Amino acid sequence: MAAADLEKRIGYRFKDKQLLERALTHSSYANESKKKIECNERMEFLGDAVLSIIVADHIFHKFHLAEGDLTKIRAALVCEKSLFEFAKQIDLGSELLLGHGEEQTGGRERPSVVSDAFEALIAGIYLDGGMEEAKRFVLPFVEKEIRSKESPFVDYKTLLQEIIQKNPEECVEYVLVSEEGPDHDKKFVVEVHLNSNVIGRGTDRSKKGAEQAAAREALSLMGEIE
């Protein structure tokens, strides 16, 4: 294992090199080893929790969205597919310690194996350097992923507010125009007003969704987005 090369790629130098080695040790390698060594499964468990709180805290402060929308964003950022992509950016698969069978069947390219190791690596950094170092490692991947999937993650209300705030005398207000349908199938219509002028209108099954749609239309009419 070329620990120094991996440490350079991830931008973190471990004080306890055993933590790094354990994070990269797949169960197949541990099972085949003549020595009693620990695989990365326990670290994967911890890394999953650390990753979740880092992402949840980040998007909570970044997006002023409802709980359901935040949950969807978090799920998209911590899913196996995303973690596999993160791991590929640092060529993590090439550093894994795999058993002979796992090696022969393409374990280094298997999303489940590599994404689990990425979570274990997060745990290793957390255990070795604390939460701030774990955040410093994780957040660049998260921010890049958010930018690559801009549409699902855009908080149009915040974007509109940031633009309007350039003129302190301007005031934005969201007005519920109508609310129709039974409780299980509501339809909300919201207008966004700039001072007394309607600059956008949106419809959605939730009030917050309608506000986002109204803000999006306003931004589109202002030429800020397509």
HSE-up of residue 59 (Cα within 13 Å, Cβ side): 29
DSSP code string of 31-50: HH-SS----SHHHHHHHHHH
Distance CA 208, CA 157 (A): 10
Alpha-carbon distance of 8 to 12, in angstroms, equals 7
Which is catalytic among the residues 21, 119, 128, 191?
119
Whether 119 is a known active-site residue: answer: yes
Catalytic one of 7, 48, 80, 204: 48
Q: Examine the residue annotation and report whether 48 is marked as an active-site residue of this protein.
A: yes
- Rounded Cα gap, residues 27 and 120, in angstroms: 12
Residues designated as active site: 48, 119
